[in-house]
Amino acid sequence: MLTLVVLISGTGSNLRALLEAASHPGFPARVIAVGADRDADGLAHAEEFGIPAFTVPYTAFPSREAWGQELVEQLDAWNPDLIVLSGLMRLLPAAVVARYAPRIVNTHPAYLPEFPGAHGVRDALAAGVSRTGASVIVVDDGIDSGPVLAQERIPVLPGDTESTLHDRIKPVERRLLIDVVQRIATGELTL
Ligand code: GAR
């Protein structure tokens, strides 16, 4: 059974989908803890599913490195097989990447390497592209620059706003993420 710690910053809708998938008896992975860099709304999903949660508030630390050290300590306490960044809106400090790579995956609301960074949906709209996408990647030291594990194209429709487009991307992200976790857990996909 592959053990996961999921890190979030926001509403955690992708986290919720993973928790639902992992609650099925046949699913080969389970979420052992959920962590956040702030008082994220998505922590409520962990509580609902009876999964332990922890917060390492970014703003409480003097530097990204200091935050990263505490994050490593929290993660080490759970010793997960895989870390899933599911809407964590922080660049992971080098210490975390060095300790866990390549066992860290990230979901991203664009077809990487197109539109990396914190505003993948907004940037795609601003560029006027006719299609964008969703990706699941391995996290490395760069900004959304690691190897792509799964991705899918999604059309940008006339009249799309950041919100309507993101709402169409997220279900695809969820499907890709659950599939990637399942394939890592069964050994079909090696990191
Ligand atoms: C997701 O679309 C995720 O890919 C994105 O934040 C959203 C979180 O939604 N992450 C990034 O943009 C990271 N650069 P959620 O909190 O509802 O799961």
pLDDT digits (tens, 9 = 90+) for 20-49: 999 999 999 999 999 999 999 999 999 999
pTM of this prediction? Answer: 0.97
**H/E run at residue 35:** strand 29-36
pLDDT digits (tens, 9 = 90+) for 82-113: 999 999 999 999 999 999 999 999 999 999 99
Q: Establish whether residue 151 lines the binding site of ligand 1, counting it when its CB lies within 6 angstroms of any ligand atom.
A: no
Peptide bond into 113 cis (omega under 30): yes
Phi, psi of 140 (to 5 degrees): -125, -160
Pocket test for ligand 1, best of 121, 173, 176 (most atoms within 8 A of CB): 173
For residue 47, the surrounding DSSP H or E stretch is helix 43-48
Report the C-alpha gap between 154 and 131 in whole angstroms. Answer: 6
